[in-house]
Structure 1
Amino acid sequence: MPHTTQRILIVDDDPDILEFLHIILEEEGYEVVMADRGDSLMQLHNGELPHLIVLDVLLSGKDGRDIVRWLKSQQETRKIPVLMFSAHPSAEQTVRQAGADDFLAKPFNIETFLAKVAHLL
């Protein structure tokens, strides 16, 4: 186990998915921060940066791919791995082109999700 708890930020506009992922990740010992809007990613600062960002491709009013491009262009956040997910499997190619480190199609298997999280951390 790492000395510091690894912080994961989940961004999804579906409260059920947020809660579901929150429970799964907390059971695994991660510190979980949740946001239901992509705008919250624009306010990340060094002191509270997550070790991993789990981001939905389609958020109300924002495209997750634009958010990833922005995160990867910023000095503070460019090294944070981003795992994106979508109900559209065809989104994988555009997600990777935008700079996401990994992709998961919804609905997903919990073991697969946790394996991807562990791999990215």
Structure 2
Amino acid sequence: MDTRPRILVADDEPAITALIALMLTHAGFEVVQASGGVQAVSLAREQAPDLVLLDVMMPDLDGRDACKVLKMDARLRDVPVVLFSSADEQDVHWRGAGAEGFLQKPFSIRELPDRVRRYLSSPSD
């Protein structure tokens, strides 16, 4: 049985998802990849992630709406969700979506594992 923290990453740009997954896997996390918000919600229900990273701008279900759906699910409401976007933090309204954090793109891929660890240990950061 795999005891590594499971991180669900969703972005409609495969290169971004793959880069994030590569860095997090190298840092010791198990990573589940989704290509959009609808798939992210479905995979979260199937895979029970420890943390979810969602791009805000996805065509099928944006990250804010996917976060709201996850937070309405009794089994997933306590899973930390971090939204990321190239939009300004004030324009994203991530707190209103129920997310525990926000990452401004471009963010440091090297610093990402440490940020993820902080959210896993203290989701209210």
TM-score (norm 1): 0.88
Q: Cα gap change, 1:97/1:118 in structure 2, threshold over 3 Å: closer, same or farther?
A: same
| Deviates most, 84-93 or 102-111 | 84-93
Task: Give the match for residue 78 of structure 2.
Answer: 79
Give the unaligned 5+ runs of structure 2: 121-125
The range that moved more, 6-15 or 109-118, is: 109-118
What amino acid is the match of 1:105? Q
Using the TM superposition, give the Cα deviation of residue 42 of structure 1 relative to its aligned residue in structure 2, in angstroms. Answer: 3.2
- Cα offsets for 1:32-55 (capped at 9, x unmatched): 11010211233233x621101010
Alignment of 1:93-108 (within 5 A): 94-108=93-107
Q: Which residue of 2 aligns with 1:59?
A: 58
Q: C-alpha displacement at 1:111, in angstroms?
A: 4.0
1:104 touches 1:113 (CA, 8 Å); kept in 2?
no
Count, aligned residues? 118
- Aligned-pair distance for 1:97? 1.3
Give the Å deviation of 1:28. Answer: 0.3
1:1-27 residue CA offsets vs partner (Å, 9 max, x unmatched): xx8111100000001101110110011
Q: 1:25 & 1:64 partners in 2: Cα distance?
A: 20
How far apart are the structure 1 equivalents of 2:92 and 2:17? 24
Shift of 1:69: 1.0
Report if aligned partners of 2:37, 2:63 keep a CA contact under 8 Å in 1: yes
Alignment of 1:19-58 (within 5 A): 19-43=18-42, 44-45=44-45, 48-58=47-57
Encode CA deviations 1:55-75: one digit per residue, 9 max, x unaligned.
000101322111111111110
CA RMSD, Structure 1 to Structure 2 (Å): 1.7
* TM-score calculated relative to the size of structure 2: 0.85
